[in-house]
Amino acid sequence: MHIVTGGAGFIGCAMVWKLNQMGVDDILVVDNLAASDKWKNLVNLRFTDYLHRDEFLARITAGADPFGARAVVHMGACSSTTEQDADFLMRNNTVYSKAVCAYALENGARLLNASSAATYGGGELGFSDDHAQLGLLKPLNMYGYSKHLFDLWARRTGALDTIASIKFFNVFGPGEYHKGDMMSVVAKAHRQIRATGRMRLFRSYREEYQDGGQMRDFIYIKDCVDILWWLLENRQACGIINVGTGIARTWNDLARAVFAAMGLRADIEYIDMPEGIRDKYQYLTRADMGKLRAMGYAEPFTALEEAVRDYVAGYLDTGDPYLDARQE
């Protein structure tokens, strides 16, 4: 059995979709659906069972292995970079992840854990996934810190010799619609452009970056799950591993790509950045992808314009923008 925590969430549901494409249906989805629309991400997918995250935690900490898992893809977490409840983030992201890791290690299951590029903070030390840099990083928000604490624990206990803890950069694509303010700018822009004909981006507060010139390493969700599948199949690939493209593009590039995919002329308005995030804002992210390439992953990454075009035309413009394993 494959277990996917956060299996109704963004990266989680995409991973279930990828597993289905590879002929894997014996999947346990773990999540907390509550009153959200996340359940819609599951409708077109094939899996054996669903379990609430609290029940899953109770079972894996009870002693005997109740699932016989071959692999655990641990994507479940609170991913809000603006969450202020630090105790909640510690319980939900750090402590929970330690329990999942212990379960996987005790039972010989391959573990892929979702870390985050938010652990790199302002990027003053660069974006290398070299373990030697780990203790020097200073995340800018509590979400990033909760992920960082797990990575530090995994290094200290030796778990990084066996698991893969993946630092995702700016992921976008189908399956993210339940995330509200945490949706990618591609999804937000599509809605905004349809409603107003224009797109808003933040002004820059650093001279070396023009308005909308702040840069991110944008990666398409389909590329992410291709990498996750490869990591499941290559258990020797362990440690902290960046998942981005290695190329930084501006928000202006992203905006123009969305307009182009919608067949419209770009109309961008620059607005003030909220004061509360100005001192925590990352102006550049760019994944160092040398480690993953050295491990043997050789597939190319989808270019930004092509990925945005696929997302807009294949999902956002269809009126039914959820991943559908039956269509591909």
Instruction: Give me the pLDDT at residue 167, please.
Output: 97
Instruction: Give me the pLDDT at residue 326, please.
Output: 38
Confidence of residue 321 (pLDDT cuts 50, 70, 90): low
Token pair of 80, please? 């809000």
Q: Residue 202 domain-assigned? A: no
Under a CB-based contact definition with an 8 Å cutoff, are residues 238 and 162 in contact? yes
Instruction: Give me the pLDDT at residue 253, please.
Output: 97
Tokens 């290559």 belong to residue: 234
Confidence of residue 319 (pLDDT cuts 50, 70, 90): low
CA angle 311, 314, 318 (to 5 degrees): 115
pLDDT at 325 over 60: no
Confidence of residue 328 (pLDDT cuts 50, 70, 90): very low
Instruction: Read off the amino acid at residue 84.
Output: Q
Reported as a single tens digit per residue, the pLDDT across 253-303 is 999 999 999 999 999 999 999 988 887 788 899 999 999 999 999 999 999
Q: Residue 223 domain-assigned? A: yes
Containing H/E element for 4? strand 2-5
Mean pLDDT of 248-256: 97
> What is the rounded CA–CA span in Å between residue 169 and residue 287?
7
> What is the rounded CA–CA span in Å between residue 186 and residue 286?
18
Total structural domains in the chain? 1
Under a CB-based contact definition with an 8 Å cutoff, are residues 26 and 1 in contact? yes
Beta strands in 58-133 (DSSP E): 71-74, 110-116
Q: Which residues pair with 201 in a beta bridge?
A: 270
Mean pLDDT of 192-197: 94
* Residues near 254 by beta carbon (within 8 Å), at least 6 away in sequence: 185, 186, 189, 216, 218, 304, 308
Mean pLDDT of 152-171: 97
Q: Residue 314 domain-assigned? A: no
Instruction: Give me the pLDDT at residue 327, please.
Output: 43
Q: Residue 49 domain-assigned? A: yes
Instruction: Give me the pLDDT at residue 54, please.
Output: 95
Mean pLDDT of 175-185: 85
Residue 136 domain boundaries:
2-173+218-246+284-302
Mean pLDDT of 100-117: 96
Token pair of 84, please? 């202020």
Tokens 């092509």 belong to residue: 306
Confidence of residue 320 (pLDDT cuts 50, 70, 90): low
Mean pLDDT of 151-156: 97
Instruction: Give me the pLDDT at residue 276, please.
Output: 81
Reported as a single tens digit per residue, the pLDDT across 28-54 is 999 999 878 889 999 989 999 999 999
More confident residue, 92 or 158: 158
The DSSP output letter for 238 is: -
Reported as a single tens digit per residue, the pLDDT across 128-137 is 999 988 999 9
Q: Residue 137 domain-assigned? A: yes
Instruction: Give me the pLDDT at residue 178, please.
Output: 81
Q: Residue 87 domain-assigned? A: yes
What does pTM read for this prediction?
0.93
Point out the residues that are catalytic. Answer: 143, 179
pLDDT at 91 over 70: yes
Q: Residue 321 domain-assigned? A: no
pLDDT at 97 over 50: yes
63 exposure class (CB count in 10 Å sphere: 0-12, 13-18, 19+):
exposed
Q: Residue 266 domain-assigned? A: no
CATH number at residue 124: 3.40.50.720
* % residues pLDDT > 90 (the chain): 79
Confidence of residue 323 (pLDDT cuts 50, 70, 90): low
Which range has the worst mean pLDDT, 61-75, 218-232, 257-271, 290-304?
A: 61-75
Confidence of residue 208 (pLDDT cuts 50, 70, 90): very high
Confidence of residue 324 (pLDDT cuts 50, 70, 90): low
> What is the rounded CA–CA span in Å between residue 3 and residue 238?
19
